């Protein structure tokens, strides 16, 4: 039955990767619009705590999930106001959002530590597909929120590459001056995409507290928001590659727990826990070198506030 262990590990890689995937998709949208929001970790935590609180109060995981999306969007609005309207430094503002989100979620969530969630998202088999050997149990025995990403990823790809608004989105990240001259409202669109990005980060947080862990723990994202930011570079701002990447990270995460559970003690658990962070490091370095060599796709105006008078 050695095969079933691997199937279980692959399935866990997907659930462990899903919160990172949500957050990375959100960050891809924001960065394609030219805004680097480093507050992902904070927005995820705010989403996780809000989703959990609403989930506990109403016993409706879907309401929790929606509340988390709203909370993530609200946090991103603050970021957008500071960086787009007030032109504050994006790096420092993102960090402020992470510190603030960590504090706020810890503050609000304190009474919810150890509280059980009455109803969480549970795996649902997709008829027919889940019966396929190997692929079925790995891909089609998950909760609805995982299936949602299966739809979201191709949709996003289509939006970026095959639609007019998607073209404008890429334009404001590449060359806002030119987009402005064509009559694209940069400020409005950057707001929109930063907020959508925050909503997805909130969704990723809620996935942790409503489906993956079902519980609330202070700082429960444990750096996943930062991993998502790194993943965006690894994926070169492409949703499909982000999906593959997040399962890779999810796999590394899951592996450390599998080894722990199997009591494999040749290497201390602390080193297994380092794997996702090391992987991120190596991946960011390799991905950046690759972008450098092939001259590809870093949004040209990433991180630069748009100032009409300095155009």
User: Using CB under 8 A as the criterion, which residues of the chain lie in contact with other proteins when the complex forms?
Assistant: 38, 42, 78, 81-82, 86-89, 91-93, 95-108, 110, 218, 223, 226, 229-230, 233, 268, 270-271, 273-274, 277-278, 280-281, 284-285, 288-289, 292, 308-309
Q: State the nearest-atom distance from the C-beta of 111 to other proteins, in Å.
A: 8
Q: By the 8 A CB rule, do 82 and 93 touch?
A: yes
Our CB check for other proteins shows the closer of 7 and 70 to be: 70
Residue holding tokens 């590449």? 174
Number of H helices, E strands in the chain: 12, 2
Phi/psi for 125 (5° steps) reads -75, 135
Quick one: CA dihedral 138, 142, 146, 152, positive or negative? positive
Beta-carbon neighbour count of residue 182 at 10 Å?
Answer: 9
Our CB check for other proteins shows the closer of 162 and 270 to be: 270
Our CB check for other proteins shows the closer of 93 and 149 to be: 93
Our CB check for other proteins shows the closer of 138 and 229 to be: 229
Q: State the nearest-atom distance from the C-beta of 134 to other proteins, in Å.
A: 33
Our CB check for other proteins shows the closer of 5 and 274 to be: 274
- Alpha-carbon distance of 4 to 134, in angstroms, equals 9
Q: State the nearest-atom distance from the C-beta of 224 to other proteins, in Å.
A: 11
Q: State the nearest-atom distance from the C-beta of 75 to other proteins, in Å.
A: 11
Look up residue 233 and give its two tokens: 């570079």
Q: By the 8 A CB rule, do 47 and 205 touch?
A: yes
Q: State the nearest-atom distance from the C-beta of 93 to other proteins, in Å.
A: 5
| 186-207 vs 2-32: helix crossing angle, rounded to 10 | 160
Our CB check for other proteins shows the closer of 100 and 157 to be: 100
Q: State the nearest-atom distance from the C-beta of 233 to other proteins, in Å.
A: 7
Q: How far is CA 233 from the centre of its chain?
A: 13
68-27-121-133 Cα dihedral, nearest 10 degrees: 170
Using a 10 angstrom Cβ sphere, with 0-12 exposed, 13-18 middle and 19 or more buried, the burial of residue 150 is middle
Our CB check for other proteins shows the closer of 145 and 252 to be: 252
Q: State the nearest-atom distance from the C-beta of 141 to other proteins, in Å.
A: 31
């Amino acid at each position: 039955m050695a095969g079933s262990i691997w199937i279980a590990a692959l399935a866990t890689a997907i659930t462990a990767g899903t919160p990172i995937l949500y957050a990375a998709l959100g960050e891809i949208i924001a960065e394609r619009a030219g805004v680097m929001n480093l507050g992902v970790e904070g927005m995820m935590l705010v989403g996780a705590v809000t989703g959990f609180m609403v989930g506990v109060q109403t016993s409706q995981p879907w309401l929790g999930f929606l509340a988390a999306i709203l909370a993530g969007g609200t946090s991103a609005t603050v970021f957008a106001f500071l960086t787009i309207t007030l032109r504050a430094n994006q790096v420092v503002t993102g960090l402020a959002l992470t510190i603030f989100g960590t504090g706020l979620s810890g503050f609000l969530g304190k009474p919810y530590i150890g509280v059980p969630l009455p109803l969480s998202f549970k795996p649902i088999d997709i008829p027919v597909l889940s019966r396929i050997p190997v692929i079925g149990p790995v891909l089609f025995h998950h909760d609805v929120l995982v299936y949602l990403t299966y739809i979201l990823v191709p949709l996003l790809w289509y939006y970026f590459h095959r639609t007019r608004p998607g073209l404008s989105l890429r334009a404001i990240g590449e060359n806002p001056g030119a987009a402005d001259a064509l009559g694209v409202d940069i400020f409005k669109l950057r707001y929109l995409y930063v907020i959508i990005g925050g909503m997805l980060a909130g969704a990723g947080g809620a996935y942790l507290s409503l489906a993956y862990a079902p519980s609330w723990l202070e700082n429960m994202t444990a750096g996943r928001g930062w991993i998502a930011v790194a993943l965006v570079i690894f994926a070169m701002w492409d949703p499909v590659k982000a999906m593959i990447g997040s399962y890779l990270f999810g796999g590394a995460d899951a592996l450390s727990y599998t080894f722990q559970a199997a009591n494999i003690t040749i290497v201390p658990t602390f080193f297994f826990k380092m794997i996702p962070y090391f992987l991120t490091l190596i991946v960011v370095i390799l991905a950046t070198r690759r972008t450098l060599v092939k001259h590809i796709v870093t949004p040209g105006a990433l991180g630069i506030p748009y100032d009409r008078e300095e155009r």
